[in-house]
Chains A and B, each alone.
Chain A
Amino acid sequence: SQQGEEDPQALSIQEGENATMNCSYKTSINNLQWYRQNSGRGLVHLILIRSNEREKHSGRLRVTLDTSKKSSSLLITASRAADTASYFCATVLQAGTALIFGKGTTLSVSS
């Protein structure tokens, strides 16, 4: 089945630093989304980027998409301790079909 593969698996940074997470996927997609999961909780949608977009911003989040390389990156700028969570990319192959999640990156931000 198609899925994103996040890299790195785990990332530890200090408050104020930027965090970059990468996602690779296997086949053409309709859109790619990033979700966040706090420990033991459900997933929360962060940002969506469509296949015809290259970059998108939302607050401290910046997402890029390179369809030629089948990869995406999520950048969190000026990280805070509250950003500590797991981050997942999820792909939609065709409009209306299910989201398929990657394995996630666990981000730890220490103060």
Chain B
Amino acid sequence: EPEVTQTPSHQVTQMGQEVILRCVPISNHLYFYWYRQILGQKVEFLVSFYNNEISEKSEIFDDQFSVERPDGSNFTLKIRSTKLEDSAMYFCASRQGMAGANVLTFGAGSRLTVL
């Protein structure tokens, strides 16, 4: 069964460092998402991406965050200068086109620990 792949599974970084989290969405999916989950809390929407541009973003997704689809397969989330409160599990998700009903397929997540 097709799956969304995320790397790394766990990254530890120092406060102020840049972090790039990578995702390979399902190959025929057109919409891509990043969500985050702080330990023990709810899953929060960060950003959605379609046709090489951001289609929707939350207030969490400030200037410290950026997304990119550098080639035909990868979808990345960059955090420019990490803060302690960025420590969370980051989930990438994808879905097919508009004919679908926003049913998302999630990756297993990347755990980010900021020290």
Which residues from chain A sit less than 8 Å from chain B, CB to CB?
A: 1, 3, 30-31, 33, 35, 37, 40-45, 48, 50, 88, 92, 95-104
Contact = CB atoms under 8 A, between A and B. Distances in A.
A104 B33 CA distance: 20
A17 to B, nearest CB: 25
Interface of B: 4, 33, 35, 41-45, 48, 56, 58-59, 89, 91, 93, 98, 101-109
Contacts of B58: 1, 98
Given A31-B102, A41-B109, A103 B42 contact: yes
Given A1-B58, A43-B91, A97-B56, A48 B103 contact: yes
B45 A44 contact: no
Nearest to B56: A98
A1 B109 CA distance: 23
A42 B106 contact: yes
| Residue with the highest number of chain B CB atoms closer than 10 Å, among A50, A96, A101 | A96
B105 A45 contact: yes
B45 A50 contact: no
Contacts of B98: 95-96
Nearest to B102: A92
Nearest to A31: B101
